[in-house]
Amino acid sequence: MIDGVIFDKDGTLFDFRKSWGAWSVRLLDSLARDEAHAEALAQAIGYDRASQDFLPHSPVIAATALEIAAELVPFLPELSQEDIAERMNAMAHSARMEEVIPLRPALLALREIGLRIGLATNDTEAPAKAHLAAHDIVDMFDFVAGCDSGHGAKPAPGMLLAFANQHGLTPARVVMVGDSRHDLIAGRAAGMQTIAVLTGIATSEELAPHADAVLPDIGALKAWILARRAT
């Protein structure tokens, strides 16, 4: 039986490349002194400016703003790690997110089968809520946590367990859905079932060892849950 589902945000609900590629360009443009400096900053965050794509090791994929900022500090001696992270979070708040599929009907379909729905992101909480609000889906979530919400960051399981505890859910009857190993490792650490989706940067081969199933996107989740309930 499955009573709840907790989603990652970027790469799971929102298309990672389309949403965060533009943000990365804006960030680099705002920080770089010249072309060579922009290229060094891009390499530090694993963004390929030529192809306008993220490298598999990019910290932008799953790290917190402070962790990403740490990679930039050596190239920006005039700024502290906290200063860089603050700038990143301010720009993230207004970043335009692109839905992987129409989200409101997909989430409503999960509501209709009685599921509690949560969000656990390594983004900070305020931008995360702004992104949900911009797509008119805040009301679809019973729980929203970011890396600054007091529960820690993924791959630690704190946010996931807080969702379960807040709503009286047994972790084994909750599904963690994400596009990165951080998400799935957090789900396993929380004692939850794990679903990988292929709407981020990671491949099926990378994610499958950590997942109970690999789905193309969250649109396939309802059918998977109903099939599990029938067994």
pLDDT digits (tens, 9 = 90+) for 55-94: 888 998 888 899 999 999 999 999 999 999 999 988 888 8
> Which of 54, 69, 93 delimits the end of a domain?
93
114 and 204 share one domain: yes
Single-letter code of the amino acid located at 163: F
pLDDT confidence of residue 52: 86
pLDDT confidence of residue 92: 86
3-class state of residue 193 by DSSP = strand
Q: Among residues 145, 157, 119, which one has the least CA distance to residue 12?
A: 119
190 and 154 share one domain: yes
Percent above pLDDT 70 for the chain: 100
Put simply, whether the predicted model's pTM sits higher than 0.95 gets the answer no
pLDDT confidence of residue 95: 86
pLDDT confidence of residue 206: 93
In this model, does residue 217 exceed pLDDT 90?
Answer: yes
> How many domains would you assign to the chain?
2
Per-residue three-class SS string for 179-191: CCHHHHHHHHHCC
Domain extent, residue 219, equals 4-15+97-230
In this model, does residue 231 exceed pLDDT 80?
Answer: no
| H/E element, 195 | strand 193-197
50 and 38 share one domain: yes
